[in-house]
Amino acid sequence: MSVDPVVQRLQTLKQKVETAKTERARAEARMEELQKQRDQILAQMSEAGVTPETIDQEIQRLEDERDRLLDEAEQLLAGGQNA
């Protein structure tokens, strides 16, 4: 005796619903985790005095300062070697 096709389809649909519920719960947990990470990063940025809108400018300013300080150090060392 075979399983009624309607019962088989209903069982398949039930499995798919359960799988979808599990995936949804997993996705919601991941989203919550990512939101917490985002909040932590924003808090760290705020402590550093930058925002998502100003971070690129701050990076550029720091790179420029680094390059200026390296140039200054090289000039000081070159001046000391000539003495």
Chain centroid to Cα 26, Å, comes to 18
pTM, 2 dp: 0.65
Cβ(68)–Cβ(62) under 8 Å?
A: no
Question: pLDDT of 7-65, one tens digit each?
Answer: 999 999 999 999 999 999 999 999 999 999 999 999 999 999 999 999 999 999 999 99
Q: For position 65, what pLDDT does the model report?
A: 98
Question: pLDDT of 71-81, one tens digit each?
Answer: 999 999 998 77
73 token code pair? 């150090």
| Secondary-structure percent of the chain, ordered helix, strand, coil, rounded to 5 | 85, 0, 15
Q: For position 82, what pLDDT does the model report?
A: 59
Q: Rounded to an integer, what distance in angstroms lies between the CA atom of residue 17 and that of residue 48?
A: 46
